[in-house]
Structure 1
Amino acid sequence: MGRGTRLLLAMVCGVAVAGVYAGQPVLGPMGRELGVPLDAAGWFVAVGQLGYLTGLISLVPLGDLLDRRRLIAAHLALVAAGLAVTAVAPVAWLAFAGLAVAGAFAVVVQTAVAYTATLSPPGERGRDLGVVTSGVVVGILGTRVVMGGLADLWGWRGGYLALAVLAAVLGMLSFVALPADVRTTTERYGQIIRSFGALFTRPAFLSRGLIAFFLFASFGTLWSGMALPLAGEPWWLSEARIGLFGIAGLAGALGAARSGRWGDAGHAGRVTGLALALLLGSWLAIGQLGSSLLLLIAGVIALDFAVQAVHVSNQHILTAVYADRTSSTIGGYMVFYSLGSALGATATTALFDAVGWTGPTVLGATFALCALVIWAVSRRRVVISTDTGNPLPCEDSPARAR
């Protein structure tokens, strides 16, 4: 798998996921122009996330049946269409429809990750996954900064239109530049969906999925709640300045892009434990938000480094254990991600309103502790992957998983 292919797939991931989160910095102007009250403006993001969850269940398993190159190109075209509809929507319901479509087909991210795992030789799988999934983090965090700048220049509609054009160009480029992915399976879609459901009974999958659930609940607690205290006393930061904290998050996450190499060296399980301990410790610094922005920045960097390191390690292990079900496995794993992110996002605002920043701080640390406990328990049973020779914290061997 060449460097150009890794970069292209990382860009696919970044642009697709940016379409889901692009509304976060422009909820106010979107709501005012489309007649949506402020207390309901969050639905501009929530609708995309609900579409994403639907796509994880219904669309990602197609990657185990069809040519993933064609699938990536087609899904990007539909992401572009959804974003374009949103950009020109004269009424709220049409914008919601466009965001739902863009969110559903943004699961091209998981198809790209599974495609990466398939193309990569076992000894380089972690490195390649680390590079490609870094595009996801750039999309989630970078869109907070970029969308705000584009909205200042061209309005929120111009920002969505720019993303639509990028998605369309990447779709055409993917179809031309990516290697073909010829499938030989004789299974039908219904069989794939049934095997998708069966994954949730597998100890290897379930333990890594639960770690992801609490991992991204902790992540969502920070990024969905941090703007609230920063906009108030003693800081009174503007939306543009609050968005710049995304740069600190990017620095931390991109710093962990090489964590896949540690997995290639057989340390994926150990990396997970150390990174979860770092995640828990990061909340000690994040909790000082009211008195020190420097400590907050340090905590943000540490948290995003830890989240990316665990995320890459999880996918490295799961694509080794379920090598013939990479699309379904990644799609199922990301269901935990979606549910965890939603829990963190909804709980943090309620807690902040009730008890201030102390509430989200304790909540985020509790989620991190839960993930660390699950990792420690799952490490009691270890098998060796016949594909990679790496220790896997599960009861299933790759042969049994198949």
Structure 2
Amino acid sequence: MTAPSDRKLKVLIAADTYPPDVNGASVFCYRLARALHERGHEVHVIAARNEAGPDSVQYTDEATVHRLQSVAAPTHEYYRIVFPWHARKSIGALLDELRPDVVHVQCHYMIGEAAINEADQRRIRTIATNHFMPENLEPFLPFPQWFRDIVSKNSWRDMGRLMSKTAAVTTPTALAAKTMMEHAGLDDVLPISNGIDSAAYERAPGEVVERAEYPVVLFVGRLAVEKNVDVLIRALQLLDPALNVHLEIVGDGEQRTPLRELVDELGLQDRVHFLGHVSEADLHRAYLRAEVFCQPGTAELQSLVSLEAMSASRPVVLADALALPHLVTDGDNGYLFTPNDPQDLADKLTAVLTASDEERARMGRASHDRAVQHSQDKTIGLFEKLYRGATPAEVRELL
């Protein structure tokens, strides 16, 4: 039965990663919770506790966050593991207490798996959104490749088994949806964008952003293996020295030391700036200060940071991999480059950096035009329809 469109809902978001974790899935969950709260819904989030200790509750501006007892993952800086038996017990008790209208899970691991099974037992409507490909886990599995392949195959199988129990399955892009249907055996996966509030990254009326004395290439994201920031650093070395291009890196992660060592090895200490985690205000200025944004990652299901840069009217140079080709057309709003090819990346960056100011501004406007098509309001509206009982077929007509 479809819930009345004006009735406020009690929504439980089951997230295996949530702030202060810094990654695309975490950011999406936070923005989803905040947007739902702003629309008047009662929002609860289940996530792993970020330090040792028993289950606890946090009251934030966007939601009531229920933190589950967890242990540190031995191969990752901040991911926490919630044991399956504890996740089932705690989530089951929470569902009995809260009696939510809908459970929205964000993947099929740990908390997601327990939430799907416990909600299914109680006949609570459940929506599943997938932010991960099983291959994303490979850098954190200290095993030979043949064993990783087995883990990946089993993970795809589990994804299909679990998410097929839900009322609807979504993922940010059409390519990711196609991949999930092929590898997980799911019948229907809706491509619903993560959504972006473009206004948050646009230059405000009268806003003045001081530009650097040199052209800036910007990267924003986790310093993780699959982000291939090393390829970007090597590309910087291949650029014409006369251009005096500098690279700003916003973010942090387990690859910070190897990347700093690479910068030292290549003698680029004066032209590569590691800014670490920055405030939203500083991130806003970083986008507007840059000449071009680059995302060299090869495991992006959508890339929120690319959409943020595009919202700021920046040309983009993105790896020709997974979902990134959906965001750029060569010569229109930037360029695609051959993944893991520093020379091709250097050539594409040069094409942007040596273009006239007018041409870069035109590419930036084209980026912005694409970004606004991923309206956060539209995304939240589609999820609200699913929460209230709309079928995947009904929502697909609105995509």
Give the TM-score taking structure 1 as reference length.
0.28
Q: Which has the larger radius of gyration?
A: 2
Q: Which has the higher strand share?
A: 2
Q: Which has the higher contact order (CA 8 A, sep 6+)?
A: 1
Q: Which has the higher helix share?
A: 1
Give the TM-score taking structure 2 as reference length.
0.28
